[in-house]
Homo-oligomer: A and B are copies of this chain.
């Protein structure tokens, strides 16, 4: 894990600390104390718990170690808000978090203020580089929980029979795409094209200190990976496209599915992505779109309204089955990273405020990277076209075909923070690129998210990939 620890970074970090902490509070502002109690699935936690746990993190891993004389806010909070650090302290079972009516929200907010004030003191006290690095970890941790707050609230509000909306009316896209672009437009999305990459020996993983950015331990060490030539779709799969898969019997054809995926379809009776209401049979038109509604943080929307938005809240198994149906495959995390590395970090991220995936067309050109140079030594592979793929960052986390495993030479952080990422390196798949609920400052090309392949509560979608020798749609005369 690496961070910028130069002196000038000190005040930048203090500013960033206040901004991140404030945004967490802003994110819960539409919620009542009762909303913040709900834990509607095993993956989720109550929003109040997220507020407390992120304060606990700073208390446990920054203030107790680096601020002399720090007085913990409450002796029980040390274990009460521990999530899973076995070597740090005992902790309650995750499912019990929905019983934490006490401490009340007010006390949690005082806990946060107590921690904020102590961090301020730490900033004023010539903190060591290690202390600053820990603060940076804490901020990245808090950004993860910002995203989780929204993910969990979406599930909670979907579970609540009255289906309240977190954000009553859809925001305009941050970067308007001109007068023709609006939510009710149902013109077909741009047809799917593939961008080719030459592969070769590429470097994967965070470049670390040298180029300034923060990275989690699971992004290190930077190492070489050999890639065969490949291509990536220029945008994510849309809701309309996914509706065609459903209409074509996608959920009823075992030959499209991994064995575990087919078992999951049977066991959970999946018939559509999570949050889709309706059913296959009600579709009155050949497109398969009629009759579906989709629940979002902006409330219930018709599938027509969001036909060109990326499909979201699907499991790895569904992403994989869709790709097989489409005659394609999912990219590996290495293919994705090699392609993404030279792009600016921009897209439909949390900072846009959409809080739902939007069509590729609605993200302004400034968020689309220029084509990389013909031969970019930085990522050791040839890219053979003028414009790169869109929606690399934001909208939906993109399921990759890569299992979440340690990089060669992986070393967990020392101490209890070693449990942060490493112990989850089995049974999960890597996702890349962030979602509409990921803070822009949080995402990067080397960032590895991970969930078990049956997970659907996340903002997770599909980017197709292919081998370069497999009928790329992107026409050859543009090379």
| Interface membership of chain A positions 286-325, coded 1 if the CB is closer than 8 angstroms to chain B and 0 otherwise | 0000000000000000000000000000001100100000
Within 8 A of B (CB), among A82-116: 84, 86-87, 92, 96, 98-105
Known A161-B80, A261-B426; judge A34-B37 contact (CB<8 A). Answer: yes
A104 interface neighbour in B32, B258, B409, Cβ under 8 Å: B32
The reply to whether A160 and B257 form a contact with Cβ atoms under 8 Å apart is no
A156 interface neighbour in B84, B99, B226, B260, Cβ under 8 Å: B99
The reply to whether A260 and B426 form a contact with Cβ atoms under 8 Å apart is yes
Which chain B residue has the least Cβ–Cβ distance from A87? Answer: B255
CA distance A226 to B380 in the complex (A): 14
- Does chain B have a CB within 8 A of A188? no
Within 8 A of B (CB), among A403-426: 403, 405-406, 408-409, 419, 423-426
Tell me which residues across on chain B come within 8 A of A35, comparing CB atoms. Answer: 101-102
The reply to whether A164 and B102 form a contact with Cβ atoms under 8 Å apart is yes
- Does chain B have a CB within 8 A of A254? yes
Known A87-B255, A161-B80; judge A104-B226 contact (CB<8 A). Answer: no
The reply to whether A38 and B101 form a contact with Cβ atoms under 8 Å apart is yes
A160 interface neighbour in B40, B101, B258, Cβ under 8 Å: B101
> 6 additional contacts, CB 8 Å, given A34-B105, A102-B164?
A32-B101, A32-B102, A76-B162, A201-B201, A225-B226, A320-B426
A-to-B contact residues, CB < 8 Å: 32-40, 48, 76, 80, 84, 86-87, 92, 96, 98-105, 156, 159-162, 164, 201, 223-228, 230, 254-255, 257-262, 316-317, 320, 401-403, 405-406, 408-409, 419, 423-427, 429, 453, 467
23 A-B residue pairs with Cβ-Cβ distance under 8 Å, sorted by A, are A33-B33, A34-B34, A34-B48, A39-B98, A80-B161, A80-B162, A84-B259, A92-B161, A99-B159, A100-B161, A102-B160, A102-B162, A224-B226, A224-B228, A227-B408, A255-B419, A258-B424, A260-B424, A260-B427, A261-B426, A409-B467, A426-B429, A427-B453
